[in-house]
Chain A
Amino acid sequence: MTSLVDLSLLEMSAALRAGEISSRELTLACLEQIERLEPLLHAFLTLNPEKALARADAADGSLNAWRKEPDRPLQALLGIPIAVKDVLCVADIRCTCGSRILDNFVPPYNATVVERLLAAGVVILGKTNTDEFAMGSSTENSAYGVTRNPWDFDRVPGGSSGGSAAAVASCLVPAALGTDTGGSVRQPASFCGVTGIKPTYGRVSRAGVLPLAWTMDHVGPMTRTAGDLALMLGVIAGPDPLDATSSEVPVPDYVAALSGEVDGIRVGVLREYFVDDAAPEQRAAVEAAGQTLEGLGATIEDTQLPAMPMSVAAKQTVLAPEAYAYHEAWLKTRAADYGSAVRARILAGAFVTGTEYVNGQRLRTLLRNDIDRLLARYDVLLAPSTAFAAPPVAEKTVELGGQSVPVAMNLSRYTGVFNLSGHPAASVPCGFTAEGLPIGLQIVGRWFDESTVLRVADAYQRATDWHARRPDLVV
């Protein structure tokens, strides 16, 4: 057997049920991995070992009882260690949002998604690092220090869910929760070589999640395989009486949707502004992924999203005022407690006029209609998750298309458009650069059709092994 911590969540679950391992052994193995690698990574802001081991022992009790009566149903994630991004409330564990503003905040309640994961039997090991209030794309803007990319400690893990991405990539946990307002699940998943999904807007409750921009915020899981992603999403998805934006659309069995077949699936490859615009290695990797899917029986065609260039303007015009609306009181009373980069970005929201905000919302309607038109013709769209691989920490510019472009403005170049439109989008590993850094493939689907996105991601992973590679120090 490969190292215990390197197993997928589904494999861990099978081993727990079979009694080959206990949740305590698994939890201790993860805690040892954390002890070994956390000093190099700084993926976690808070660790919770005592409570985690108590939860693991309780899970072992339930597993032992179940083995005597195996006909009874068993919780989907019983005894599985996970991590949670530090913008989601976990009762009685400090929640900082990566900010000094919330240095002492201990939520008295669980976010709905956390409540559902706990009801499914997970063991929460700790809270992961994030850019301050999830505002950033590199995890460099955390008040508690930068998280390192496990593939190269001198590079960023991406963000804002960089702690979760680094933790999953380093086998500190098999799964973690992230949030995604402009790409904060998919972009760090891409930079760290893990699998992540931003579900459809409304698919997963945001109750108990500190907001960045409420019309663009999504909660999504991060794992090492599409199968594990399907299992996690199935547990957290569905309507929530505490979140009026959560949808009543029934949640299908995502794991059952993973047929391994993509025969007849129509795939549109987004060329202009996406594949054609990316660095050469990203472009080649996404093109090769298209060919792999074609070899599996999918039909592949090149296509375009002409409205794409305006999406950055719409994203800024909608996000900044929504963030400002949430932070206004703190900015007026505790401005010095914010990091300067984040303070400036939020403050910009105070100066976007009402007309400009409404025009941003109008542009969203245009984008949504354009993407829907494409998805009437195709079952999924392919794009790179990012234009380039993880940049070095503190790097200001990067080479792209023969030009030197600012890193910060381009980290989430291909992801934010689907936060504006609400479509589900996953990132799966699809190759490595010559420097050994992961490349991510973005798979976008119709509203509420995460099943097809996951099915394509899973079929791709059955045919490739990019997702199974690990950084040197990890296993």
Chain B
Amino acid sequence: MLLTLEEVEHIAELACLRLTEAEKERYREQLSAILDYATRLQTLDTAGIPPTSSVLPAHSVLRPDEPRPGLSLEKLLLNAPEAKDAQFLVPLVLD
């Protein structure tokens, strides 16, 4: 089932994505193919089947709550595009 152009635009808006006209057309096909799979699952009789919540029936593994050395400030800031006063510098969001 092919999505309509309006549906693609609606979901693009929900996802805050700006798409060109060519992209909308391409996404219409590609998204439809993947969503078809999801629809196909609705035909399953899944009454009484518990969803997989963990791939293996494992209990949550907790480590002892003990302090451990972390990374140094210098190392942590190495990947900051910009840093100031030992903090990540980000674009202004409020004037």
Contacts and interface: CB of A to CB of B under 8 A. Distances in A.
A365 B31 contact: no
Given A201-B55, A313-B38, A317-B37, A365 B75 contact: no
B55 to A, nearest CB: 4
Give chain A's interface residue range (CB within 8 Å of chain B).
35 or more
Interface stretch (A13-21, A72-80, A343-351, A396-404): A343-351
Contacts of A246: 61
B35 interface: yes
A244 B51 CA distance: 20
Contacts of B41: 310, 313-314, 317, 356, 359-360, 363
Interface in A10-39: none
Contacts of B54: 245
B1 interface: no
A366 B47 CA distance: 11
A462 B53 CA distance: 40
Contact of B17 (A335, A348, A358, A365): A335
A345 B35 CA distance: 11
A363 B46 contact: yes
A108 B40 contact: no
A362 B51 contact: yes
B50 A350 contact: no
Interface string B9-51: 0010011111000010011001100110111111010100111
A304 B53 CA distance: 26
A356 B38 contact: yes
A299 interface: no
A312 interface: yes
A215 B53 CA distance: 9
Contacts of A347: 15, 17, 27, 31
Nearest to B18: A335
A95 to B, nearest CB: 10
Nearest to A344: B30
19 contacts: A104-B81, A106-B79, A201-B56, A215-B52, A244-B60, A244-B62, A314-B41, A317-B41, A328-B15, A332-B15, A340-B23, A340-B26, A344-B31, A350-B14, A359-B41, A360-B41, A363-B46, A365-B50, A447-B56
Given A106-B78, A202-B55, A347-B15, A316 B37 contact: yes
Interface of A: 104-109, 200-202, 215-216, 239, 241-242, 244-248, 310, 312-314, 316-317, 320, 328, 331-332, 335, 340, 344-345, 347-348, 350-353, 356, 358-366, 368, 421-422, 447
A422 B56 contact: yes
Query: Which one of B40, B64, B76 has the greatest number of beta carbons of chain A within 10 Å?
Result: B40
Interface of B: 11, 14-18, 23, 26-27, 30-31, 34-35, 37-42, 44, 46, 49-56, 58, 60-64, 71, 75-76, 78-79, 81
Contacts of A108: 71, 75-76, 78-79
A109 B34 CA distance: 36
B71 A361 contact: no
Contacts, number: 129
Given A104-B79, A245-B54, A362 B34 contact: no
Given A331-B15, A356-B41, A365-B50, A344 B27 contact: yes
Contacts of A352: 34-35, 38
A113 to B, nearest CB: 17
The 10 closest A-B pairs by CB, nearest first: A241-B63, A361-B51, A108-B75, A356-B38, A348-B34, A313-B37, A364-B52, A316-B37, A201-B55, A362-B46
Contacts of A310: 40-41, 44
B37 A361 contact: no
B53 to A, nearest CB: 7
Contacts of B27: 344, 347
A351 B34 CA distance: 9
Nearest to B50: A365
Nearest to A358: B51
B34 A320 contact: yes
B11 A353 contact: no
B71 to A, nearest CB: 5
A274 to B, nearest CB: 20
B55 A422 contact: yes
B11 A344 contact: no
A345 B46 contact: no
Nearest to B17: A335
A200 B79 contact: no
A267 to B, nearest CB: 24
B3 to A, nearest CB: 9
A159 B15 CA distance: 29
Contact of B40 (A245, A313, A366): A313
A312 B15 contact: no
Given A239-B61, A320-B34, A247 B51 contact: no
Contacts of A216: 55
Contacts of B35: 348, 351-352
A364 to B, nearest CB: 4
B26 A361 contact: no
B58 A368 contact: no
